[in-house]
Amino acid sequence: METYLGFDFGGTKLLIGEMDGNGTILKQKRYDTGILSQKEAAKRLVSCAEDYVKREGFAGSPVAAGVGIMGIVDVNSGVWRTLNHLEFSDIPLAGELKEVTGLDTVIDNDVKSATMAELKFGAGKISDNFIYVNIGTGLGAGIISGGKLIRGANNNAGEIGHIVVNRKNTVPCICGRTGCVEGLVSGMGIDSTARRMAKNMRTLLDTSDNGKRIDAREVFRLAQCGDEMCREIMKELVAELRELLLNLVRTVDPDLIVFGGGIVSGDVLLDELKEEINCPTLSGLKHGMIKSVLDPTKIGLMGAATHAMLKKEGTYI
Ligand SMILES: [Zn+2]
């Protein structure tokens, strides 16, 4: 049986696994990497690939490999340009992994990879024009228009976290602007916003410096219990997400928006959003706004392997 090897690198963990042509993950292994620099992360990926090939073996016969990774990727040359948009090391990761596995390897940004899994095995079954919005540690999107993934000149299309929706927010962003939506609508954004607000507002939220990121689900829970600060965060979060989505709909004209990522894993945020977003702008969104039907713990791995499969089939998007 032909299979596809996937690598899903999420910043602190790496999943390596094998997928069949129906999108089923046949086996997988998790490697905890901790937070690494780009060069360290690339080395760790290669050493984990060696470990996987030697120790795990394969369930089928892998014919190609794909990598979904954070940051900016040059898809055509297989070069990983940057992890954090600050350090640009230009690492030829696809080639380095091919030396270990012997398989033709594609690499891509992780959200774009996940969007390919959506296209092949999820939302793509009902729509050729959808936006996959991933709200996790950061905020990004994959845009499918006419069945094709929009990449742009630099494979940077879909970096929606840096769309400005709040001109009153003066906190600088790494992109050089202020008021970017990722500054609030993301795991990082909720954490930094809550810590900033807790200096001036009473709250039951634990904002002590315990080395852990504030859990967005706890913010949502306390907001529902009437905690004033968490309620304020929730209100602003919904308002910014609403503006972002309406801007995206005006730009791209999708008929479906699909959400993925840890911040939308519960229903609280989407339920509140749906109450607030009524607007004639959404009249063409005939399939509405839904959570991804794909397993959130597997979509990254599926996406990486799906990219490899599409490339191999010649239906590369
Ligand atoms: Zn920005």
Same domain, 276 and 306: no
Q: Cα of 86 to ligand 1 centre, how many Å?
A: 12
Residue 68: which residues within 8 A CB-CB, separation 6 or more?
Answer: 6, 7, 8, 9, 107, 108, 109, 110, 112, 113, 114, 300, 301, 303, 304, 307
pLDDT at position 317, please? 66
Same domain, 148 and 194: yes
Same domain, 23 and 94: yes
pLDDT at position 11, please? 75
CATH number at residue 192: 3.30.420.40
Q: Cα of 282 to ligand 1 centre, how many Å?
A: 26
pLDDT at position 10, please? 85
Number of domains in the chain: 2
Same domain, 27 and 89: yes
Q: Cα of 23 to ligand 1 centre, how many Å?
A: 34
**pLDDT, tens digit, 9 for 90 and up, residues 3-54:** 999 999 987 899 999 999 999 999 999 999 887 899 999 999 999 999 999 9
Q: Cα of 243 to ligand 1 centre, how many Å?
A: 16
Q: Cα of 87 to ligand 1 centre, how many Å?
A: 16
Same domain, 284 and 135: yes
pLDDT at position 316, please? 67
Q: Cα of 183 to ligand 1 centre, how many Å?
A: 8
Q: Cα of 102 to ligand 1 centre, how many Å?
A: 38
pLDDT at position 34, please? 82
Q: Cα of 18 to ligand 1 centre, how many Å?
A: 35
Half-sphere exposure of 313 toward its Cβ, with a 13 Å CA cutoff? 14
Same domain, 136 and 255: yes
Same domain, 309 and 227: no
pLDDT at position 251, please? 97
Residuewise pLDDT in 10s, the chain (317 residues): 999 999 999 878 999 999 999 999 999 999 998 878 999 999 999 999 999 999 998 999 999 999 999 999 999 999 999 988 778 999 999 999 999 999 999 999 999 999 999 999 999 999 999 999 999 989 999 999 999 999 999 899 999 999 999 888 888 898 899 999 999 999 999 999 999 999 999 999 999 988 889 999 999 999 999 999 999 999 999 999 999 999 999 999 999 999 999 999 889 999 999 999 999 999 999 999 999 999 999 999 999 999 999 999 988 66
Same domain, 134 and 69: no
Same domain, 71 and 146: no
Q: Cα of 219 to ligand 1 centre, how many Å?
A: 23
pLDDT at position 122, please? 97
Same domain, 214 and 79: no
Q: Cα of 174 to ligand 1 centre, how many Å?
A: 6
Burial 117-155 (b: 16+ CB within 10 A, else e): bbbbbbbbeebebbbbbbbbbbbbbbbbeeeebbbeeeb
Q: Cα of 46 to ligand 1 centre, how many Å?
A: 31
Q: Cα of 246 to ligand 1 centre, how many Å?
A: 18
Domain that residue 229 falls in: 127-291
Structure tokens at 1: 């049986």
Q: Cα of 122 to ligand 1 centre, how many Å?
A: 29
Same domain, 56 and 141: no
Q: Cα of 159 to ligand 1 centre, how many Å?
A: 9
- CA–CA gap between residue 248 and residue 262 (Å, rounded): 21
Same domain, 108 and 241: no
Q: Cα of 175 to ligand 1 centre, how many Å?
A: 4
pTM value is: 0.94
